[in-house]
Amino acid sequence: MKQQLFGLSFGFAALLLAADMATAQQRAQCAERSLVIDRLTGKYGETRKTMGLAANNGIVEMHASDETGSWTITVTHPNGITCLVAAGTSFETIDEELPAALGAPT
């Protein structure tokens, strides 16, 4: 019985620790806009390539580096906090029109 209770306690503690780590990771991905932009330009050499307005009045932006190919998508909320949404490599600019069947304006 003691072993089962210990096992359940250990499992519960592991869940709490995992939840706390997930919360910490979420907090680490958001900051004041100026800090995020400074990091993207200073450390990664990224500049804003595109932007748009999301349904929740957030500003969605894509930043990328033409030299390294790194890219980052951010959302800046109305309160001024910017959050990282996605990031990756191999960015390249494509200048082509999509066929109407794929959603290009007619």
pLDDT average per 10 residues of sequence, the chain (106 residues): 45 44 58 96 96 94 96 96 96 82 63
- What is the residue extent of each domain of the chain? 31-102
Q: Which residues lie closer than 8 Å to 37 by C-beta, 6 or more apart?
A: 82
Q: Which segments of the chain does DSSP mark as H helices, in order? A: 2-28, 33-42
Contact (Cβ atoms closer than 8 angstroms) between residue 48 and residue 61: yes
pTM score: 0.66
Measured distance CA(18)–CA(1) in Å, rounded: 26
pLDDT at position 7: 42
Angstrom distance (rounded) from CA 59 to CA 31 = 14
Q: What's the full length of the chain, in residues? A: 106
What pLDDT is recorded for position 22? 45
